[in-house]
């Protein structure tokens, strides 16, 4: 069995890490570089950095900032934020990122997924999906980094993740909006439905509040990784303690 991954997520705005509830009301959580170094030293398997203002502002992220983060880390990290072309994605990798995530731009131009997979290799291509339960269906939203710009994407979540996989995505990060920031547990039902439709790795996002939430999502939804933010940023859960608990409960992790 492949070891399950613990992945702190850093939503970045103007060089600072922020965190909200259901993608709204962002609060400052600290300096991005300082938090990255802390997670590196505490045993995180990967890190994810989202420049949450990039897509709503119509820009891409700062490559110099990516390079600065790469100098700090000896673990894989993924970046996202307004990366609209294959060339921009390639530049992120050239500056030290291991993976590049695409979300809203892929909804507008799905061919971006195929283009990145063909040129960069699908192992580098992550598709982020922001999903909310509405009218009896899980539905995709875009521009979620800005409450004023956020809107429905006109796609059903389960259809979109399969399309993204078929286009060449190497991994799906499913962000469950209804659970985001509320710390009541991952949306296991939605993640299980997604897992049943995918053959590529699936990462759970949104809802972690206690150690048992990680155990449950690995066991019941069979995800490859669990992403979390506020419980790590605040120190509510320490990664070494989490990994020891998962190991004691029969979930294979890198200790």
Q: Stretch 40-62: mean pLDDT, rounded?
A: 87
How many CA atoms lie within 13 Å of 51's alpha carbon, on the beta-carbon side?
22
- What number of other Cβ atoms are within 10 A of residue 49's Cβ? 25
Output the average pLDDT for the chain: 90
Q: Which of 51, 130, 180, 187 is catalytic?
A: 130
Structure tokens at 188: 């296991």
Reply yes or no on whether 187 is catalytic.
Answer: no
Q: What is the mean pLDDT of residues 103-114?
A: 93
41 is catalytic: no
Give pLDDT, residue 15. Answer: 66
Q: What is the 3-state secondary structure (H, E, C) of the chain?
A: CCCEEEEEEEEEECCEEEEEECCEEEEEEEEHHHHHHHHHHHCCCCEEEEECCCCCCCCCCCHHHHHHHHHHCCCCEEEECCCCCHHHHHHHHHCCCCEEEECHHHHHCCHHHHHHHHHHCHHHEEEEEEEEEECCEEEEEECCCCCCCCEEEEEEHHHHHHHHHHHCCCEEEEEEHHHCCCCCCCCHHHHHHHHHHCCCCEEEECCCCCHHHHHHHHHHHCCCEEEECHHHHCCCCCHHHHHHHHHHCCCCECC
Band of the pLDDT at 23, cuts 50, 70, 90?
very low
Q: What is the pLDDT of residues 165-188, one digit of tens each?
A: 999 999 999 999 988 877 899 999
The pLDDT of residue 230: 85
Average pLDDT of the segment spanning 19-37:
66
**Contact status, residue 144 vs residue 130, Cβ threshold 8 Å:** yes
Inform me whether the pLDDT recorded for 53 exceeds 80: no
| pLDDT of 16 above 80 | no
Report whether pLDDT(119) > 60: yes
For 184-212, b where at least 16 C-beta lie within 10 A, e where not — what string? Answer: ebbbbebbebbbeebebbbbbbbbbbebe
Q: 2 pLDDT band (50/70/90 cuts)?
A: confident
Confidence check: pLDDT of 26 > 60 = no
Q: Which band of pLDDT confidence, cut at 50, 70 and 90, is reported for residue 151?
A: confident
């Amino acid at each position: 069995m492949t070891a399950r991954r613990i992945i702190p997520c850093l939503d970045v705005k103007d060089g600072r890490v922020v965190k909200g509830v259901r993608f709204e009301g962002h609060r400052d959580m600290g300096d991005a570089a300082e938090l990255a170094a802390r997670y590196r030293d505490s045993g995180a398997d990967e890190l994810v950095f989202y420049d949450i203002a990039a897509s709503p502002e119509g820009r891409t992220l700062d490559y110099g900032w990516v390079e600065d983060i790469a100098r700090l880390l000896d673990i894989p990290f993924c970046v996202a934020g307004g990366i609209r072309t294959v060339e921009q994605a390639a530049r992120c990798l050239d500056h030290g990122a291991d993976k590049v995530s695409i979300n809203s731009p892929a909804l507008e131009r799905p061919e971006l997924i195929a283009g990145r997979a063909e040129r960069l290799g699908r192992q580098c291509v992550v598709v982020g999906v922001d999903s909310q339960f509405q009218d009896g269906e899980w539905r995709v939203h875009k521009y979620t980094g800005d409450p004023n710009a956020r809107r429905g994407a006109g796609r059903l979540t389960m259809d979109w993740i399969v399309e993204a996989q078929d286009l060449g995505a190497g991994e799906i990060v499913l962000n469950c909006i209804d659970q985001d920031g509320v710390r009541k547990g991952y949306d296991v039902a939605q993640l299980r439905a997604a897992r049943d439709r995918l053959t590529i790795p699936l990462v759970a996002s949104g809802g972690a509040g206690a150690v048992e939430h990680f155990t449950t999502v690995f066991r019941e939804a069979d995800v490859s990784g669990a992403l979390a933010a506020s419980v790590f940023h605040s120190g509510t859960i320490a990664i070494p303690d989490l990994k020891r608990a998962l190991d004691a409960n029969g979930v294979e992790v890198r200790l």
